[in-house]
Amino acid sequence: MNYKVLSRKYRPQNFNEIIGQPHIVDTLINSISSNRLAHGYLFSGLRGVGKTTTARVLAKTLNCLDLQGGQPCGKCQNCMDIAASRSLDVIELDGASNRGIDEIREIKETVKYPPISGKYKIYIIDEVHMLTKEAFNALLKTLEEPPNNVVFILATTDSHKIPETILSRTLRFDFKKITNKNITRHISKILEKENINFEELALNMIAKKSDGSVRDALSILDRIISYSRDLVSYDIVKESLGIIEDEIYINLLDLIIQSDQNSLILKVKEITDSGYSIENFVGGFNTFLSNGLLFISGYSKEEFLSESVENWFNSKKNIINSIDFMRIIEEIQKFEITSRNLLQPDIALEALFIKLSLMENSIQISDLLLKLDNQTFEDKSKINQNKHVKQINDSTLKAEDLNSKDKIKTVEPKNIELDEIKTVESKNIELDEIKEQFNNYWKSILNLIDEKDKRISSSLHDQKVSINNNLIEIDLGQTDNIYEQKMLNENIDIIENSIYEILKHHLKVKIKVIIKNEEQEKNHPLLDEIKSKFTNSNNS
């Protein structure tokens, strides 16, 4: 059977058939109908989004002998020659294989001769960023003084590699990723024409996998049709692409939240044992989490997550937030980079999931910190009240003074000076002195803790410690120091008791965790990156 690959068989032949680039198509049609042609065009965008196809349609439109409302007729000799790549007036070059200056020199020579059968001579240079510097220079000279009937269409996936001098002499069009919806619609039409049955979900899955590239979607489809001729089903696509269903990822995330390491390991083993590649599995998990992050940050659109998955995310938003998602994604990205060089990536994969399950989630951490803050606040208020009583007992104090001080206190209850505390607490060591000599006291405290629990003392050793009012802050510095932080928080009583034994002051201890605030969370580079990917694929 003579099988023609779908991308060739269904290549768009006019502007109406071009998928997902209406902004470009409209501009091109308008400029042609109003006779405002440029001599150089630059089509930039990811692979498989229609750059070369649009270049050929543009070439046809320029040379068609019988334009139909601004569109090529598709029937005249010129249209047919261009469609069959045999037109002498349309010269296609691949920058990747013709990197040399010779090819460009040849162009320079041939531009002098007028077109043979059409109005224009059109040069389409694909992957133009691959040209050598010398070739670019030669091309530039031609672009600077092109004959009237010559049009250059340069296509590239990497426009940033093209010299500014070339960019400034071309009219630039940025091609967008094709949305999943557009890809799904496109391939469903093709399957209908091919008389092949399909399941909607299967096409969705292909669209997702092709990541905005029609060409990729069609080559996946080619592959699937080659062994399942009359049906494109969800199961076949899933198996053929090695796609792991979102339900499995939800299950894993649930186990991570529950910190259920045993079940996690079993689940991970089950997945790797059933033949999924670790790369595919981890990459899929990352995509799933990125979509989840977008969803809970309010950026998601229906095509990214199914309703049941969205419901699940909604039900968990009080348990995990976007910071947790970003932390998990960061861990997974680290794994993706390092696992390539590992001899036993499956063991590392299990370790990764155990690590994820041990991460404290930031909602709990912020709750904890909030409680700590409230406690210190309560302590301060008590001191304040004591002082208040003392002031009332002082017969020399005037009533209006009391009132004004009272007012200040109600406005700023946290504003207590250290010497105020001194007046109400008579202890062996003054807090001022503690503050001044804190490093020495801290050594004694550490020694005492060391006698009680060496794990705690060694974790506290060399950490930044500061005293502020009646709060001692221990700054662990690094955010990924989750085990130490967890252990210290669990043993905070031992630390506080030791402090009391040495200082005879009840001082609260706060293990400092870097919690990103709302603003930082919104501006997190990872979120930005994911957002920009998202906008690229959705703006069309």
Summarize as ranges the residues that interact with Zn ion (CB under 5 A).
64, 72-73, 76, 79
Q: Which is nearer to Zn ion, 55 or 206 (CB)?
A: 55
- Distance from C-alpha of 396 to C-alpha of 405, rounded to nearest angstrom: 15
Q: Which is nearer to Zn ion, 63 or 170 (CB)?
A: 63
- Shortest distance, CB of residue 338 to Zn ion, whole angstroms? 56
- Shortest distance, CB of residue 295 to Zn ion, whole angstroms? 47
- Shortest distance, CB of residue 63 to Zn ion, whole angstroms? 8
Q: Would you say 191 and 198 are in contact if contact means Cβ atoms under 8 Å apart?
A: yes
- Shortest distance, CB of residue 298 to Zn ion, whole angstroms? 48
- Shortest distance, CB of residue 113 to Zn ion, whole angstroms? 22
The packing angle between helices 200-210 and 214-227, to 10°, is 130
- Shortest distance, CB of residue 59 to Zn ion, whole angstroms? 11
Q: CA torsion, points 187, 188, 192, 193, in degrees to nearest 10?
A: -30
- Shortest distance, CB of residue 232 to Zn ion, whole angstroms? 34
Q: Which is nearer to Zn ion, 64 or 241 (CB)?
A: 64
Please state the separation of Cα 422 from the chain's center in Å: 53
| Strand, helix or coil for residue 264 | helix
Both tokens of residue 441? 């006291």
Q: Would you say 86 and 77 are in contact if contact means Cβ atoms under 8 Å apart?
A: no
Q: Which is nearer to Zn ion, 73 or 363 (CB)?
A: 73
Q: What is the CA radius of gyration of the chain?
A: 34
Q: Which is nearer to Zn ion, 67 or 526 (CB)?
A: 67
| H or E segment to which residue 252 belongs | helix 246-258
- Shortest distance, CB of residue 214 to Zn ion, whole angstroms? 24
| H or E segment to which residue 471 belongs | strand 471-475
- Distance from C-alpha of 285 to C-alpha of 4, rounded to nearest angstrom: 35
Q: Which is nearer to Zn ion, 118 or 212 (CB)?
A: 118
Residue type, 500: Y
- Shortest distance, CB of residue 121 to Zn ion, whole angstroms? 17
| H or E segment to which residue 121 belongs | strand 121-126
Bridge-based pairing of strands 471-475 and 464-468 is: antiparallel
- Shortest distance, CB of residue 70 to Zn ion, whole angstroms? 12
Neighbours of 16 (CB within 10 A): 11
The packing angle between helices 482-490 and 345-358, to 10°, is 40
Q: Which is nearer to Zn ion, 120 or 281 (CB)?
A: 120
Q: Which is nearer to Zn ion, 73 or 101 (CB)?
A: 73
| H or E segment to which residue 365 belongs | helix 362-393
Q: Would you say 339 and 281 are in contact if contact means Cβ atoms under 8 Å apart?
A: no
Using CA atoms, how far residue 432 sits from 226, 336, 341, 421, 514, in Å, is 82, 51, 55, 10, 28
Q: Which is nearer to Zn ion, 79 or 191 (CB)?
A: 79
Q: Which is nearer to Zn ion, 59 or 139 (CB)?
A: 59
Strand order across the beta sheet in which 508-512 lies: 464-468, 471-475, 508-512
